[in-house]
Amino acid sequence: MNTISSNSEPVYGLGIDTGGTYTDAVIMDLRTDGVLAKAKARTTHDDLSIGLRKAIDAVLAYMAEETFEPSLIGVSTTLATNSVLEGRGGQVGLIGLGWKPEQGWDLGAKVQRFLPGGHDSRGEPLAMLDMAELERVVEEMVPQVDSMVVSGLFSTQNPYQEKNVKEMVQRKYGIPVVAGHELTAELGIYERTVTAVLNARLMPVLSEFLDKVLDILKARGLQAPVLVLKGDGTLMNLRNARERPVDTILSGPAASAMGGRVLSGMEDCVVVDMGGTSTDIAVLKCGIPGVSKDGSTVGKWRTRVEAVDMWTAALGGDSEVRASPHGGLLIGPQRVTPLCFAARQYPDLPSRIRETGQARFIHLADGRPELPGTAGRIARYLDEHGPSTLSQMKRDLDIILLQPLLKEMRERGYIGGIGFTPTDALHVTGAYVEGDVEAAALGADQFARVLHMGRDDFVDSVLDTVTSQIAEEVVRKILTDDLGSLPDDSTFHAIMAMLSGKRCCDRLRLNAVLDAPLVGIGAPARAYMTALERKIGARVIIPQDHEVGNAVGAVCGHISEYVDVFVYPRDKGYAVHSAFSTPIAYRTEGEAVRRAKELARERALERAMRAGALHPTVSITTEEERVVTPDAPGITQLAEMRVRARAVGKPIEL
């Protein structure tokens, strides 16, 4: 535990992050950004509340002798992201107005109907709503779904029809309704509709999670306001989180970026967060991470959700180490349970490694359903025999096409893998020990024998390969930000390998030199990242409390909301369009722009205060496109102007 001395009374904040591998909790002095206490617990995916309780109780134990009354509780979670990837959530009915999906579009709704309506790009109705037909369709859909979505063509230019449908459905049936214009002002009917459908699907999932968090906090007498981290790195209150859970997609990576800034004190840096499953890389300028301009993509879903522009590599402490058929090592992208941790659950695992001469096993996952047929046979075998090698299962089960079936069961989460990982390598060296060192060492011996290496050389090779891969991912992120898409040919891959220190050339040396420091976040950061100073010429900062950086980021943010209003030429004047009012006509450009700024400012302030901001301040920016007037060369006229008002405020007084 680290204590921070201060002349003023501390303002306590409790930060909680439920990650893919660990659930972290920190107690901070929000005046100084100092970590007063910290704790970690393994994330319990079948019931997240178990890991939450363990982490919260552990961190509260540090404050047992002090009166601890937090002023703020911040939460970040991978729940929304994982739910989208795994297809979990409520059943949604979709009503489309004025459009039909293109072939191959998967919009994520259980039932969907498309009716005349919608607007053109000027906000004019394409067709009037047939309310009788609409009510008939809704009557048919409601018994099949938990919530409804209404998404109209160009509703961002005129939300009138979407508002009418939402009001009617809520009044008559009392179920949740999400309107596409409420979540984004961006064009793109597919992305806007998917965003609304995912939001509706996630509403019961995140609400259940937040209810569990509140129950845990209430049982411990913690009454402070609870805020949830959004994917763009800012906070929102519980009411907004329940209404807009889709905004929490990718909040985990956002937490690492914000935590890296707070812990390092660096405003311009590259934050690298290495977790159990992946490594996330974000570039911060002036203390603010870049935000994806085109919205977030999660699995197969393209959305309009703003999130930190994060580069994610399938490389983590739990990535599986394999021997390459061509010699050398392959690490990832498959995730397995490290031998050192699996041996806690299966104490005879070291004996199994000795008996089989192998370090790769298959085991039965917790919380699985009862499985029928051949999958059931496999489950019963693993339940009876415990962790087993593939060769054992082939011999004992005699199942045709066993490997494809095991692959499918693994993808569905019914079974898991156990194997040697970078985390095991750290256990062998003693750099990080939290599990069974014997199991890790036996696994290293098995690989070393196959590769004709000594144990120490093998472990060093694993760690060097990991740091080289991190170095390459950092270089790729920087180059992609500057150049856009990168080539995918053998020459480029060879150059990247030389830049990241993976390989060298007899007569040519290529060195990458970063002009911004690298900030390492995550439990294994110190073990892997210090070598990056040598590989890519970077100044590496591993801040104190780096292992709980995500929980720090969850509680140290601010509240920020923005609103876009558009100005377009219309007939002999101009029109102001927004996602919260019908188009308004003005005679001159100046009048239209002034009104657009007023509307944007008013709505941004309203949204920020509704999200929990105190005394928010507003900044306004404009982007415009102008075209040359055909009959007056050299003179331009407005084609489009975007007016963006952003309101920013702290969630509490400091």
pLDDT of residue 307: 86
Span between the terminal Cα atoms of the chain, in Å: 24
pLDDT of residue 498: 74
pLDDT of residue 2: 39
Please indicate, yes or no, whether residues 331 and 453 belong to a single structural domain of this protein: yes
Q: Which domain holds residue 364?
A: 319-459
- Residue pair 613/219 in contact (Cβ under 8 Å)? The answer is no
Mean of per-residue pLDDT scores for the chain: 89
DSSP state of 20: S
Average pLDDT rounded to a whole number, residues 304-311: 86
Look at the block and give the residue holding tokens 């995916």. 45
- Residue pair 494/472 in contact (Cβ under 8 Å)? The answer is no
Distance CA 410, CA 406 (A): 6
> Is the residue at 286 inside a domain?
no
The residue with greater pLDDT, 541 or 525, is 541
Rg of the chain taking only CA atoms, in angstroms: 27
pLDDT of residue 506: 67
- Residue pair 18/78 in contact (Cβ under 8 Å)? The answer is yes
Q: What percent of the chain has pLDDT over 90?
A: 62
pLDDT of residue 3: 40
List, edge to edge, every strand of the sheet that includes 337-338. Answer: 337-338, 415-419, 361-364
pLDDT tens column, 7-57 = 578 899 999 999 877 899 999 999 999 999 999 998 887 788 999 999 999
Average pLDDT rounded to a whole number, residues 617-628: 92
Residue 483 has pLDDT above 90, yes or no: no
> Is the residue at 467 inside a domain?
no
Distance CA 95, CA 98 (A): 10
The conformational region for residue 85 under phi > 0 = left, psi -120 to 50 = alpha, else beta, is: alpha
pLDDT tens column, 188-201 = 899 999 999 999 99
Closest CA to 431 of 333, 316, 523: 523
Choose the final residue of a domain: 402, 436, 459: 459
Distance CA 103, CA 106 (A): 9
Please indicate, yes or no, whether residues 325 and 452 belong to a single structural domain of this protein: yes
Per-residue pLDDT band for 184 (boundaries 50, 70, 90) equals confident
> Is the residue at 90 inside a domain?
yes
Triad 241, 244, 248: Cα angle to 5°: 70
Please indicate, yes or no, whether residues 332 and 442 belong to a single structural domain of this protein: yes
Average pLDDT rounded to a whole number, residues 540-556: 94
Please indicate, yes or no, whether residues 453 and 582 belong to a single structural domain of this protein: no
- Residue pair 544/263 in contact (Cβ under 8 Å)? The answer is yes
Residue 636 has pLDDT above 60, yes or no: yes
Average pLDDT rounded to a whole number, residues 525-536: 84
Number of domains in the chain: 3
Average pLDDT rounded to a whole number, residues 622-650: 87
pLDDT tens column, 399-444 = 888 999 998 888 878 899 999 999 999 999 998 888 999 999 999 9
3-state DSSP assignment of residue 278: coil
pLDDT of residue 283: 92
Average pLDDT rounded to a whole number, residues 318-331: 85
pLDDT of residue 4: 40
pLDDT tens column, 243-261 = 999 999 888 889 999 999 9
> Is the residue at 8 inside a domain?
no
Choose the final residue of a domain: 459, 475, 508: 459
Choose the most confident range, by mean pLDDT, from 133-147, 473-487, 506-520. 133-147
pLDDT of residue 488: 74
Residue 310 has pLDDT above 60, yes or no: yes
The residue with greater pLDDT, 629 or 284, is 284
Look at the block and give the residue holding tokens 């040519």. 508
> Is the residue at 640 inside a domain?
yes
pLDDT of residue 358: 93
Q: Which amino acid is at 604?
A: A
> Is the residue at 629 inside a domain?
yes
Largest Cα–Cα separation, the chain: 88
Distance CA 257, CA 332 (A): 23
Indicate which CATH number applies to the domain containing 594.
3.30.110
Residue 368 has pLDDT above 80, yes or no: no
Residue 1 has pLDDT above 50, yes or no: no
3-state DSSP assignment of residue 208: helix
pLDDT of residue 501: 66
Distance CA 349, CA 440 (A): 10
Look at the block and give the residue holding tokens 């294994």. 524
Q: What percent of the chain has pLDDT over 70?
A: 97
DSSP state of 347: T
Residue 239 has pLDDT above 70, yes or no: yes
> Is the residue at 399 inside a domain?
yes
Choose the final residue of a domain: 459, 475, 506: 459
Burial class (CB in 10 A: 0-12, 13-18, 19+), 357: exposed
> Is the residue at 552 inside a domain?
no
pLDDT tens column, 583-598 = 999 999 999 999 999 9
Distance CA 638, CA 624 (A): 7
The residue with greater pLDDT, 439 or 65, is 439
Burial class (CB in 10 A: 0-12, 13-18, 19+), 263: buried
